[in-house]
Amino acid sequence: MSSLSGKKSHITFGIVTDVQYADSEDGTDFSGTRIRYYRNSLNLLKNAINDWKQQTDRVAFVLQLGDLIDGKNNKGGEESSHRALTSALNPFQSLKSTPTYHTIGNHDLYNFQRSFFLESSIMNPSLSLSIETSPSSKHLYYTFLPHPKLRIVNLDTYEISLLGYGDSPDDPNFLLAQAWFREHNGRENVNDVDGLEGLERRWAAYNGGVSQQQLTWLGQVLRKATAREENVIITTHVGIKTEYRGYNVCLAWNSEEILAVLADYPCVIAVLAGHEHSGWDHIDPHTGVQHITVPAVIETEPGSNAYATARLLDDSLAITGVGTVPSYSIKLRYAIYSV
Ligand SMILES: [Zn+2]
């Protein structure tokens, strides 16, 4: 335990998202208005990790919320994708005994099939803090308990997806994704949402959803966490409440079903998402849950940065943002009383 303004941190961890590294000249987002710094994103990641290495209170683990490498790497074929992934993983591996927990995003799935990640050791840190469900050979969602009063629950918002099933076209989740998608977006370009209104704007292939099986698992995890009085942070690549801002183009396809499960259990204190790049936050007035979309590294100017360090204090989670990431103080549902 160490201190932040005189308050001891029971456990400290890092948060970073949307590095989208590519060995490529700078470009822009799909709208052509926001610059993407493809090579420099790796420098910003290294700076973030160097900062974590120098923290006086040891960073126990890192949450990487998805899109570690950019889809454009796949233009150079599989070798290029592997080269980019190796480059982007190197900084995390330099943390040595500090594991990184990865979330898979759409750009990751532009480079590799989901079967690659299901089998990859990057999804199963060897120094795992997991005590219950780790990513398995079947699922990319998982939970772990880094502190008796803090549980992380990672959702896979591309389980029902048009992405990542190229080598398993008969997978029921891929077939279900196609059926759902056809009901909402009949365009040839599956990422075109022009003309769609309101929540329908989420029906782009760069978003996705979760299965009933995952929702059932989520409910079981949250029920146990509530009984054990564990504070829960949900991590996800695609946000589940961005509609509040009118930014429906980055929203999980069945976000309402996920929110309904969360609303049943008081243990959830925060939802951390990536994917939307500019970042936003909102406290759900019904549940008190703090939703945060963490700003992307890829669209952060050289000289600035986009990451955060979170500390579990006696009665709050203090998230200290750097650069484009704001800071937050989130009240714990179950306080930690020190003797
Ligand atoms: Zn994304």
The tens digit of pLDDT for each residue in 46-55 reads 999 999 999 8
Amino acid letter at 195?
G
What is the whole-number distance in angstroms between the Cα of residue 148 and the centre of ligand 1? 31
Closest CA to 149 of 62, 219, 233: 233
Instruction: Write down the domain spans for the chain.
Output: 2-331
What is the whole-number distance in angstroms between the Cα of residue 275 and the centre of ligand 1? 4
What is the whole-number distance in angstroms between the Cα of residue 10 and the centre of ligand 1? 31
DSSP bridge partners of 209: 160
What is the whole-number distance in angstroms between the Cα of residue 58 and the centre of ligand 1? 29
Structure-block tokens of residue 206: 């760069």
Q: Which residues contact 231 (CB under 8 A, 6 or more apart)?
A: 149, 150, 151, 267, 269, 317, 332, 333, 334
The 10s digit of each residue's pLDDT in 113-128 is: 999 999 888 887 654 5
The 10s digit of each residue's pLDDT in 11-45 is: 999 999 999 999 988 888 877 888 899 999 999 99
| % of the chain exceeding 70 in pLDDT | 93
pLDDT at residue 151, rounded to an integer: 96
What is the whole-number distance in angstroms between the Cα of residue 107 and the centre of ligand 1? 6
Task: Say how far apart CA 233 and CA 135 lie, in whole Å.
Answer: 17
What is the whole-number distance in angstroms between the Cα of residue 125 and the centre of ligand 1? 22
Residue that wins the pLDDT comparison between 120 and 246: 120
Closest CA to 161 of 279, 36, 254, 23: 254
* pLDDT reading at 225 higher than 90: yes
Spatial contact of 64 and 16, defined as CB atoms under 8 Å apart: yes
* pLDDT reading at 243 higher than 70: no
When mean pLDDT is compared over 3-7, 123-127, 171-175, the highest value belongs to 171-175
pLDDT at residue 102, rounded to an integer: 95
* Average model confidence (pLDDT) across the chain: 92
pLDDT band at 152 (very low <50, low <70, confident <90, very high): very high
pLDDT at residue 84, rounded to an integer: 97
What is the whole-number distance in angstroms between the Cα of residue 237 and the centre of ligand 1? 6
Spatial contact of 64 and 71, defined as CB atoms under 8 Å apart: no
CATH code 3.40.50.300 for 2-331: no
**pTM, 2 dp:** 0.94
